Amino acid sequence: MATMKNFETALKKLEETVEQLESGDLPLEQALKVFSTGVKQAEICRESLKDAELKVQQLLRQDDGSFQRDTFDDI
Amino acid sequence: MESAAAIPVSTLISHVQELVEDNFVEVLVLGELSNVSRPASGHYYFTLKDSLAQIRCAMFRSHARNLRFSPTTGMAVVCRGGLSVYPQRGDLQLVVRELEPEGIGSLQLAFEQLKQKLQSEGLFDQERKQPLPTYPTTVGVVTSATGAAIRDIINVLSRRAAGVNVLLRATSVQGDGAAAEIAQAIKEMNQDGSSDVLIVGRGGGSREDLWAFNEEIVARAVFASRIPVISAVGHETDFSIADFVADLRAPTPSAAAELVVKNRLDLERHLDQLILRLGDRMTAQLALLRSRLQGLEKRLRAPGDLIRILTLRFGQLEMRLKQAICGTLEHRRQHVNMLGRQLDGLSPAGVLARGYAIVRRRDSGAVIHASEEVEEGSAVTIHLARGELVATVTERVNEQE
């Protein structure tokens, strides 16, 4: 979830930079600065979306009412 | 027991067949359709039932052709036909010649009644639906641990390599008590709270098999879930009560898994778009600047042009300079020639050539300008245009004052 938070923040920033670039006539130097911020955010987003191996667990209820997780591999 | 008195099975069935077919040539039977199937042959096979009993039925193509509606499971019907025995299986079956719908079937009626009730309570309202999480990391699944649904879901999610985890809460999904178990599982998944979205469902089956998902207790559990619920019950076409209550209905468990990662795929597309827009925008701005720069350069005149112009002007100047210098030299040369000619006239050689001579003292070599400069008897040298003479002064004639 932590990486997803990072992702959301980065995505929002990226959206903002794109809009900023698209909306105004920024002077070149500032445009380049905004652009490189955007590129950095895009990298963070890509990193968070990196594929990960699927993990399958099973939720089991204990007698005392608490929950326990077990790996699930019937396949 | 005397085996001699025994008859083969086929003889027995044949007797039964005779009995049945002779006595039930034409019957009218009221019941609910179930397990309706229609293979490529075009015959219909189904079970006709009520709450206490059921009978297998066949409606052959020649009669099925005349049907004006498609018989479907759950439909209450009146069948006209004759009883028969299917010898290969010893099954009693009703060979249906005519089929008419009769109101609606009791399960269907129950379904419609519950649907009506929950709808009026607002359980199906669009505004009560929760949006699916955009970035789910844990997908909770409430289904059978041994059914096709969980396998399908795991297959889709691992094929998509979507970086999500699956948390299964196994329940039975058909038979007595299944509905209560499903409802309990949904509740527990909410208590556990680690799932971002729940898939509740099972693979396809008969209407009876899917019935748990039409029960009120499941509907209420789905509605109460704080975690968004995707229903995934049976086949594409069957709608369950759970489907109506769920935040999103997926036609199949696989489709539910696709929906979960669809957001993620959309997100990846969105990200790609943003990156493209970012690049485009920068490229466009740079292109604009480049063309502005080119315009300015033109207006400024390119340094190359300037150099060309200067070179040209320089060349012209050089030529003029050369011409000027050469002209002067020529002039000088001519002047020098002329002076040379003048000088030639003045040179002693020239004078001598005209017949004059130079006389020097023999002893000192001094040029003699006047007769007094030599004594009588002294030797003098006479320079001629060609050669010299050595002479002795015999007489001096001094110039008169």
Is the Cβ pair A18, B268 closer than 8 Å?
no
Residues of B in contact with A55 (CB under 8 A): 165-166
Report which DSSP code applies to B104: -
A39 part of a folded domain? yes
CB B360 within 8 A of CB B367: yes
B161/chain A closest Cα distance in angstroms: 6
CB B203 within 8 A of CB B172: no
* Tens-place pLDDT, residues A10-53: 888 888 888 887 777 777 778 788 888 888 888 888 777 766 66
Phi/psi of residue B143, nearest 5 degrees = -165, -175
- Residues B23 and B84: their CA atoms lie apart, in Å, by 10
Residue B309 belongs to what H/E stretch? Answer: helix B303-346
Residue with tokens 């036609």: B251
Domain range holding A44? 2-19+27-60
Residue with tokens 């995505």: A11
Is the Cβ pair A8, B189 closer than 8 Å?
no
A43/chain B closest Cα distance in angstroms: 10
> 3-class secondary structure for B313-343?
HHHHHHHHHHHHHHHHHHHHHHHHHHHHHHH
- Residues A74 and B144: their CA atoms lie apart, in Å, by 11
Is the Cβ pair A54, B164 closer than 8 Å?
yes
Which of A18, A52, A56 shows the shortest C-beta gap to B154? Answer: A56
Residues of B in contact with A19 (CB under 8 A): none
Q: Which residues pair with B142 in a beta bridge?
A: B169, B200
Q: Give yes or no for A53 touching B (CB within 8 A).
A: yes
The DSSP-derived string for B203-259 is ----TTTTGGGGSHHHHHHHHH-SS-EEEEESSSS---HHHHHSSEEESSHHHHHHH
Residues of A in contact with B191 (CB under 8 A): 67
Is the Cβ pair A22, B281 closer than 8 Å?
yes
Q: Are strands B165-170 and A55-61 parallel, antiparallel or unpaired?
A: parallel
CA–centroid distance for B139 within its chain: 27
pLDDT (tens, 9 = 90+) of chain B, 401 residues, equals: 677 888 999 999 999 999 999 999 999 999 999 999 988 888 999 999 998 999 999 999 988 887 766 788 888 888 999 999 988 888 899 999 988 877 655 566 568 778 989 999 999 999 999 998 877 889 999 999 999 999 999 998 888 766 788 999 999 999 889 999 999 999 999 999 999 999 999 998 888 888 899 999 999 999 999 999 999 998 767 789 999 999 999 999 999 999 888 877 777 788 888 888 888 777 777 777 778 877 777 776 666 676 777 777 777 766 776 666 666 566 666 766 776 676 666 666 767 777 888 888 888 888 888 888 888 888 999 988 888 899 998 888 887 65
Please tell me whether residue B86 adopts helix, strand or coil conformation: strand
Query: Quick one: closest CA in A to B289, which residue?
Result: A28
The pLDDT assigned to B256 comes to 93
Q: Give yes or no for A61 touching B (CB within 8 A).
A: yes
Please tell me whether residue B392 adopts helix, strand or coil conformation: strand
Complex-level ipTM: 0.72
Q: Which CATH number fits domain B3-103: 2.40.50.140, 3.40.630.30, 3.40.50.300, 3.30.465.10?
A: 2.40.50.140
Report which DSSP code applies to B66: T
Is the Cβ pair B192, A8 closer than 8 Å?
no
Q: Give yes or no for A12 touching B (CB within 8 A).
A: no
Q: Give yes or no for B146 touching A (CB within 8 A).
A: yes
- Residues A37 and A29: their CA atoms lie apart, in Å, by 13
Q: Give yes or no for B278 touching A (CB within 8 A).
A: yes
End-to-end CA distance of chain A: 27
What total of structural domains would you count in chain A?
Answer: 1
The DSSP-derived string for B184-198 is HHHHHHHHH---SEE
The DSSP-derived string for A12-66 is HHHHHHHHHHHHS---HHHHHHHHHHHHHHHHHHHHHT-----EEEEEEE-TTS-
Residues of A in contact with B146 (CB under 8 A): 74
Is the Cβ pair B167, A57 closer than 8 Å?
yes
CB B380 within 8 A of CB B362: yes
Residue B181 belongs to what H/E stretch? Answer: helix B178-192
Burial label for B145, CB within 10 Å (0-12, 13-18, 19+), is middle
The pLDDT assigned to B219 comes to 96
Residues of A in contact with B135 (CB under 8 A): 4, 7-8
Phi/psi of residue B209, nearest 5 degrees = -60, -35
Query: Is the CA virtual torsion B9, B11, B15, B21 positive or negative?
Result: positive
Q: How many interchain CB pairs under 8 A, A with B?
A: 101
Q: Give yes or no for B276 touching A (CB within 8 A).
A: no
Q: Give yes or no for A44 touching B (CB within 8 A).
A: no
Which of B140, B158, B168 shows the shortest C-beta gap to A54? Answer: B158
Phi/psi of residue B230, nearest 5 degrees = -105, 125
What is the CATH architecture assignment of B127-260?
Answer: 3-Layer(aba) Sandwich (3.40)
